[in-house]
């Protein structure tokens, strides 16, 4: 076993060899990390039969859900959180001191308050238990306490259970836990769980395995890790290569090994950095057999070239600190035709329906400017289609007609400008002094302009004229736009349209909440996260 493999991965491989038939539960914070660990086990030649990667919520749900449903309690959708908090904040009585309400119209404020309330709930705190001494401002404490109380009353009145309530209920029914007494369970080390997650993990049945983690000298350990992370066994680093010396980055000793296991470069920007990574991948060794001389698997040594990487597993791993970088990697891979897996999934904003809906929101927020609508049409993300045969009008043709009509901005400009354009084409088509081919071409252009006018009328009909308007009208407009106007040229686009529709449905509970266009569009854009 080489030190190139993490101690925790080595530990999992040992459990897979020594406990082949025993169920082994690996508690991870996300499914993405679970898939990554499983792939790494497979890539290093270790079987992982009976290994079950699960999040704490995966364990809690089957324990709590039957009892909550029996009492008529439904799960609360996570996506409705920021919008709900905005509503509850605005509905607080005037007797409650004001602290956050001055910025209630800002979507970022609603998201920040929702994150705060969710963290307080997962810490096991209630409105009554929120300590006054923890706040420097009495107004801040009073308003946050009232907001938390309003959220608790909303859950009770609507018979809803949020994530914190699921964990509380699961702790009452440990006898129906999916982890059995004879199973093994181990947590991914160094993960700081919330207090409610920690309580559940400590109470679970099964034989607890202490996870191993690499010792990182010189690194300050967060205080919360002592009480909220799993107890772990640290393994001292024994660096034999430049890459392995990264474990001593905070407390360097001696010189680097000087081999080619670690190289660094400086790029002139994010895109240049990704392009250089791709050049190095393309110019590196063949990704079929594992590279190098004699390499060891997690079990026994395997000579290079004898073990091919299984099909369907990632052969190169790129770690990105920000989602934007992962999205850029995905875009570059599409251009090269390289199959790529994005850990958290492909951002919906990269798909045609996602880009089209974002452009639609910008068009409405920008005063329905014709220049923005032309860019929407030129992007190829918007469909200009008609059911009648022979009436085809491409998005590019529509953009050129719109530019020729000299429309400006506002709801009324499109009918007026396109109406003048239609009259112009009609006059040219009726001119007896022009040739037959030119007149026929103008009649076709007039027909295209009429169809574009009908299309813009349908598009404008989606946008509520009143302001403020109920949020439900804006949601109807966004869903109709995705279904009717957004282009879908692949299976991925179809899945993105479904995902967007489901994400927007989370806001239906606030459909009667009247908001200005800017707030409603910000809430819709927020669902892309």
Please enumerate, as own/partner, the contacts of 240-245 that have beta carbons within 8 Å and a separation of 24 or more: 240/3, 241/4, 243/4, 244/3, 244/4
| Mean pLDDT, residues 383-391 | 59
Kindly report the length of the chain: 529
Per DSSP, the three-state class of 160 is: strand
Highest mean pLDDT among 95-109, 442-456, 504-518: 442-456
- Count H helices and E strands in the chain, helices first: 19, 12
Q: What is the pLDDT of residue 297?
A: 34
- Token pair of 48 as six digits: 């992982």
Q: Which residues are CB-neighbours of 154 under 8 A, at least 6 positions away?
A: 84, 88, 160
388 pLDDT higher than 50:
no
Dist CA 4 CA 486 (whole Å)? 48
Confidence of residue 221 (pLDDT cuts 50, 70, 90): confident
Share of the chain above pLDDT 90, in %: 58
Phi and psi at residue 294, to the nearest 5°: -90, 120
Q: How confident is the model at residue 244 (pLDDT cuts 50, 70, 90)?
A: confident
Q: Which among 90, 104, 87 is positioned nearest to 158, based on CA atoms?
A: 87
For residue 295, what are its two tokens? 């390499």
Q: Given this model, what pLDDT does residue 298 score?
A: 37
pLDDT above 60: residue 288: no
Phi, psi (5° rounding) for residue 353? -60, -40
pLDDT at 386: 52
Rounded to an integer, the average pLDDT of 121-126 is 95
Q: 500 pLDDT exceeds 50?
A: yes
Give the pLDDT confidence score for residue 289 in this predicted structure.
39
What per-residue confidence (pLDDT) applies to 416?
96
Whether the per-residue pLDDT at 1 is higher than 60: the answer is no
Task: Look at 5-9, 75-79, 332-336, 429-433 and tell me which has the smallest mean pLDDT.
Answer: 75-79
Strand-pairing partners, residue 184, are: 24, 207
pLDDT at 299: 36
* Predicted pLDDT at 475: 95
CA atoms within 13 A on the CB side of 517: 16
- pLDDT tens per residue, range 12-35: 999 999 999 999 999 999 998 998
Place of tokens 């309690």: 73
Residue 151: predicted pLDDT = 95
| Alpha-carbon span 252 to 36, nearest angstrom | 29
Phi, psi of 81 (to 5 degrees): -55, -60
Give the Cα separation of 421 and 476 in Å (integer). Answer: 31
pLDDT digits (tens, 9 = 90+) for 294-351: 333 333 333 334 445 556 677 788 988 887 788 888 888 888 888 888 877 888 888 9
Instruction: Give the mean model confidence (pLDDT) for residues 130-139.
Output: 94
For residue 377, the model assigns a pLDDT of: 95
Rounded Cα–Cα distance for residues 391 and 266 (Å): 54
DSSP notation for 57-100: HHHHHHHHHHHHHHTTPEEPPGGGHHHHHHHHHHTS-TTSPPSS
Does residue 422 register a pLDDT over 50? yes
Residue pLDDT, tens place only, 62-105: 999 999 999 999 988 777 788 788 889 989 999 999 999 888 76
Average pLDDT value over all residues in the chain: 87
pLDDT of residue 2: 39
Q: Has residue 199 got a pLDDT over 70?
A: yes
387 pLDDT band (50/70/90 cuts)?
Answer: very low
Task: Of 17-21, 489-493, 507-511, give the lowest mean pLDDT range.
Answer: 507-511
Top-confidence residue, 391 or 412: 412
């Amino acid at each position: 076993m080489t030190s190139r493999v993490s101690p925790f991965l080595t530990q999992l491989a040992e459990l897979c060899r020594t406990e082949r038939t025993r169920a082994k539960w690996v508690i991870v914070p996300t499914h993405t990390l679970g898939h990554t660990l499983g792939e790494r086990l497979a890539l290093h030649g270790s079987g992982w039969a009976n290994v079950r990667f699960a999040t704490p919520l995966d364990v809690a749900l089957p324990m709590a859900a039957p009892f909550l449903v029996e009492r008529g309690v439904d799960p609360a959708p996570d996506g409705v959180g920021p919008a709900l908090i905005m509503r509850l904040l605005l509905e607080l009585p005037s007797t409650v001191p004001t602290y956050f309400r001055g910025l209630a119209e800002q979507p970022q404020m609603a998201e920040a308050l929702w994150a705060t309330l969710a963290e307080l709930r997962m810490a096991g705190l209630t409105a009554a238990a929120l300590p006054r001494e923890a706040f420097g401002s009495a107004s801040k404490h009073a308003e946050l306490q009232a907001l938390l109380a309003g959220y608790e009353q909303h859950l009770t009145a609507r018979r809803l259970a949020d994530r914190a309530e699921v964990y509380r209920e699961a702790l009452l029914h440990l006898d129906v836990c999916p982890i059995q007494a004879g199973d093994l369970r181990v947590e991914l080390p160094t993960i700081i769980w919330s207090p409610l997650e920690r309580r559940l993990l400590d109470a679970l049945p099964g034989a607890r395995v202490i996870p191993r983690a690499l010792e990182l000298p010189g690194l300050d350990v967060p205080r919360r890790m002592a009480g909220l992370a799993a107890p772990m066994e640290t393994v001292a680093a024994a660096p034999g290569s430049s890459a392995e010396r990264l474990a001593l980055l905070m407390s360097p000793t001696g010189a680097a090994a000087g081999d080619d296991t670690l190289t660094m470069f400086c790029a002139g920007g994010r895109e240049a950095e990704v392009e250089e990574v791709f050049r190095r991948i393309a110019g590196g060794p063949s990704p079929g057999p594992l590279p190098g001389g004699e390499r060891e698997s997690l079990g026994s040594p395997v000579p290079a070239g004898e073990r091919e990487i299984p099909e369907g597993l990632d052969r190169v791993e790129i770690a990105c600190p920000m989602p934007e970088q992962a999205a850029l990697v995905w875009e570059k891979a599409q251009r090269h035709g390289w199959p790529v897996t994005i850990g958290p999934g492909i951002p919906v904003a990269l798909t045609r329906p996602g880009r089209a809906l974002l452009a639609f929101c910008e068009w409405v927020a920008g005063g329905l400017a014709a220049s923005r609508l032309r860019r929407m049409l030129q992007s190829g993300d918007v469909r200009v289609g008609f059911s009648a045969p022979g009436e085809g009008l491409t998005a590019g043709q529509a953009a050129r007609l719109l530019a020729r009509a000299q429309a400006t901005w506002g709801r009324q400009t499109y009918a007026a400008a396109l109406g003048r354009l239609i009259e112009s084409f009609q006059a040219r088509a009726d001119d007896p002094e022009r040739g037959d081919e030119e007149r026929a071409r103008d009649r076709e252009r007039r027909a295209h302009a009429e169809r574009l006018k009908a299309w813009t009328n349908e598009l404008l009909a989606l946008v509520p004229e009143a302001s403020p308007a109920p949020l439900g009208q804006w949601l109807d407009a966004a869903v109709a736009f995705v279904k009717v106007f957004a282009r879908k040229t692949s299976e991925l686009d179809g899945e993105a349209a479904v995902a967007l529709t489901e994400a927007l449905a989370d806001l239906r509970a606030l459909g009667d909440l009247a908001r200005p266009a800017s707030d409603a569009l910000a809430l819709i854009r927020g669902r892309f996260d």
